[in-house]
Chain A
């Protein structure tokens, strides 16, 4: 079957395929260009190469089990995807999350936002020829992922933010890693500002290229940094505050022209604001986090003892990934029996704990939100990341739909590149930050 552009193209113009496998097409996307010389007369964007049936799969998984799938949506900022899903379910359940868990969530989502913006701008700069910038930014991202890795145990597929709280407490030594990450990122941002802001080559390729007016951007459903680059003040963190964002001081940078350069600049300035948020959160999180290993008897010994009588002494378990520690549980997990898995100490040493464990994980039991439909959105790396969940009262969502910010943004690509040169596709596409996992779902 011929594609639209093959049918509509003028006989004298040339058709050029960009992608699906092209170094500048992050992920896989195909852009067909109708060219007159080097000028783009028309184009057609074809998506769906990364369609994995996320929504269909989720309909067949329980609310607890489908969390890892959300990591794979926007794979540069998985923690925000976790957060969006988890908060949607919490809204249905009416679960109150402890303050420490909320602060950790803010910290994690801001770290993800920085890594998202760094990746986007690194790729964009590299494709414009600024390879140094790419290396600098990827270096800064490594330091940020060090912090994430220490606490969550993974770099990308974290599954860290859970319904009711977070999976584990922060690493006892998270502060030194975080301070280093902040320092390095600040340094890199300063260097990159110096390298690119007044760089003639970069400016020529981004200034006044792919301009979009605010009305057009709204009409296309744009959100996030791309919408703000046109001068529209809309940030979910400010418009519909969630977690503790309303208590934190931060600004929302705006652009003026809505061209590639403004999209670059808004992302750069946003990272600085994210660093500000992180510093405020860090100041509020206790300076001396709970010890890694709690005092008590060995887990194996405790299980042995529990066969004869109830174990009264505390059990030596790490609050960090290897297990849970009951002592820090109230700080990182909501007190909502039936909605959060019970602490492992209880599961292995008492019959009540074991029963509640089974009640949580058994088929047909577990998290069963009331009937109804809910829409909840968080500010993702690309914009408003919304989940629409229809519950029919069972332990599986009847329908789960993701409002992917990327989808709306990329749908405007044909409009953006019309009339520009072939070379302009690359920085334009780079500045939109298309993420295949989120776009195709």
Chain B
């Protein structure tokens, strides 16, 4: 099945979910409402679309725009050798999005990374903790309003 067909099917199946579809540098992009993330991903992962692999998961901070954060998912289908980008906007006021851990196991660490660096919370994540920064670190370093050279006090030894 061609990607265009899959996206059409997605649009008919979830009419409220799909906001727009486009191509960017040869890669198909679909923008969805964040509330529908989990069913849409489940649909894309299942047969016959079979985007079996979650290649990448990250976030972009568009400071000054509303909604401010954009979650970016890259899916890969081994059977048809295609990549797909799924994007969903998350507002700063309600900084939560569904976790993909029920579908993909690597989402666990990837979502912890986004939580650590951007502060997006993932609903349904089994172990929502920082992954790179230490406990006691304040703020989320990859946000645009976090200064590049901000120093934080050293943490005390653990008892």
Contacts and interface: CB of A to CB of B under 8 A. Distances in A.
Main secondary structure of the interface of A (DSSP, over half): mixed
A99 interface: no
B106 A220 contact: yes
Contact of B133 (A51, A216, A219, A386): A51
B30 to A, nearest CB: 13
Interface stretch (B4-12, B47-55, B88-96): B47-55
Given A51-B133, A219-B106, A221-B104, A390 B60 contact: yes
A327 interface: no
Given A384-B55, A388-B74, A398-B60, A221 B133 contact: no
B42 interface: no
Nearest to A386: B56
Interface centre among A47, A57, A415, A440 (most CB of B within 10 A): A47
Given A375-B74, A388-B58, A401-B56, A48 B133 contact: yes
Given A372-B24, A373-B24, A239 B81 contact: yes
Contact of A47 (B83, B131, B141): B131
Interface residues of B, number: 40
B85 interface: yes
B135 interface: yes
Nearest to A219: B105
A48 B132 contact: yes
Interface in B52-89: 52-56, 58, 60-61, 72, 74, 78, 81, 83, 85
Interface string A217-233: 01111000000000010
B131 A48 contact: yes
Contacts of B58: 388, 401
Interface in A360-407: 372-375, 384, 386, 388, 390, 398-399, 401, 403, 407
B103 to A, nearest CB: 8
A51 B132 contact: yes
A47 to B, nearest CB: 6
Interface centre among B29, B55, B56, B146 (most CB of A within 10 A): B56
B38 interface: no
Interface in A173-231: 216, 218-221
Given A216-B105, A399-B60, A411-B106, 12 more contacts: A1-B135, A4-B127, A47-B132, A48-B132, A56-B146, A56-B148, A221-B55, A239-B81, A374-B25, A375-B74, A384-B55, A441-B132
8 contacts: A47-B132, A48-B130, A48-B134, A53-B141, A372-B25, A375-B83, A386-B74, A407-B109
Interface of A: 1, 4, 47-48, 51, 53, 55-57, 60, 91-92, 216, 218-221, 232, 234, 239-240, 372-375, 384, 386, 388, 390, 398-399, 401, 403, 407-408, 411-412, 415, 440-441
Closest 7 CB pairs of A and B: A48-B132, A221-B106, A51-B132, A411-B109, A403-B56, A401-B58, A1-B135
